[in-house]
Amino acid sequence: MFVKRDDDPKFKKKWADQRRNKWSYMLRVGVLLFGVAGGSFTYLAMVLLDQYIFSWLGYFVSVLMFSFFGLFTGFRAFNNNEKRYQQILFWEKEENALE
C-alpha cells in the first residue's frame, strides 16, 4: 500500500506542543467543538423545524449526549494526529540513516 509522504513542518511543530495534553485536546476538540456545538445545532434545528417544543431540559440532554460522544471523537482525533506525527518522525529517522 502506498502511503503519501506528509512532512508538514507547521503540523509537526504544533502537534509537538499539543500532544503533551491529551485530555485537554480531547475536551477542546471533542466536547467543545463536536459536543456543545453539535448538540446545540441539532437541538435548535429540530426546534426550528417544529419537531420539538423548546425546553431547557431537552437542550441540556442533547448537549450532554453529544458531549459524551464528543469524547470519543476527540480521542480518535488525538490518535490520528499522533499516528501522523509518529510517521513523520519515522520518515525523518530513515532519511537521516540513509545519509
Q: Where are the domains of the chain?
A: 20-98
Contact between 7 and 85 under an 8 Å Cβ cutoff? The reply is no
The radius of gyration of the chain's CA atoms, rounded to the nearest angstrom, is: 19
Nearest to 3 by CA among 73, 66, 72, 88: 88
For residue 75, give the amino acid letter. Answer: F
Confidence of residue 72 (pLDDT cuts 50, 70, 90): very high
Cell of 49: 423545524
Burial of 74 by CB count in 10 Å (0-12 exposed, 13-18 middle, 19+ buried)? buried
- Joined together, the cell numbers standing for residue 3 give 502511503
Q: What is the pLDDT of residues 13-69, one digit of tens each?
A: 899 889 999 999 999 999 999 999 999 999 999 999 988 888 999 999 999 999 999
One-letter amino acid at 16 equals A
